[in-house]
């Protein structure tokens, strides 16, 4: 009889990995995404469950300042090379996360006012100029925008295609 050796896997995370979209009703723990199952009650990968990479080489330090405060207990920083990345020529800040208030009421799952605001913000950003890490610039592209919505109904209504 042959024995098989178990090789433990090591999850590696540089930041928030999207939770799986749950479209049915499942009993615990089948109702969890892989990320949620691995992390348990922890916001970030604990040392006994994997490796947390504390520096992003993609996100501007201003984005990384917002995300750790909200999610990662201050553990994520932006690499200095990313500090040149910015969007110029729009009504929005050149980098970082920002809030756009959308007054509405009586909307249970889909807020048409929110969808209109997302479209307006995306079009405003598309009028800007993107600066890369190396200082080169180019016009913003639709693929540069990412809309994050809490559920499928809002995501599909907010698609910018």
Instruction: Give the pLDDT band of residue 1 (cuts 50, 70, 90).
Output: very low
Instruction: Give the pLDDT band of residue 47 (cuts 50, 70, 90).
Output: confident
**How far from 18 is each of 34, 87, 131, CA to CA, in Å?**
10, 25, 26
Identity of the highest mean pLDDT range in 31-40, 62-71, 85-94, 152-161? 85-94
pLDDT computed for residue 41 by the predictor = 85
| pLDDT > 80? residue 8 | no
pLDDT computed for residue 66 by the predictor = 73
pLDDT computed for residue 49 by the predictor = 80
- The reported pTM is 0.61
Query: Among 41-45, 60-64, 113-117, 135-139, whose mean pLDDT is lowest?
Result: 41-45
Return the domain boundaries, the chain: 27-104+111-157
What one-character DSSP code corresponds to residue 72?
I
Q: What percent of the chain has pLDDT over 90?
A: 22
Write 71-76 long-range contacts (CB < 8 A, 24+): 71/16, 71/43, 71/44, 72/15, 72/16, 72/43, 72/44, 73/43, 73/44, 75/44, 76/14, 76/15
Contacts of 34 (CB under 8 A, 6+ apart): 20
Residue-wise pLDDT for 121-158, tens only, equals: 989 999 999 999 999 999 999 888 877 665 555 555 55
Residue 52 or residue 158, greater confidence? 52
Residue 147 or residue 9, greater confidence? 147
């Amino acid at each position: 009889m042959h024995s098989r050796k178990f090789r433990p896997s090591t999850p590696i995370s540089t930041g928030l990995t999207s939770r799986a979209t749950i479209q049915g009703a499942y009993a615990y723990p089948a109702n969890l995404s892989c990320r949620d199952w691995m992390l348990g009650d922890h916001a970030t990968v604990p040392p006994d469950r994997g490796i947390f990479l504390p520096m992003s080489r993609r996100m501007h330090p201003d984005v990384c300042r917002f995300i750790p405060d909200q999610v990662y207990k201050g553990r994520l920083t932006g690499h200095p090379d990313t500090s040149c990345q910015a969007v110029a020529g729009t009504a929005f800040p050149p980098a970082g996360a920002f809030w756009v208030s959308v007054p509405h009421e009586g909307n249970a799952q889909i807020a048409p006012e929110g969808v209109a605001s997302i479209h307006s913000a995306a079009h405003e950003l598309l009028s800007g100029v993107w600066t890369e890490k190396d200082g080169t610039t180019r016009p913003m592209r639709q693929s540069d925008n990412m809309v994050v919505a809490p559920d499928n109904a809002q995501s599909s209504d907010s698609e910018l295609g």
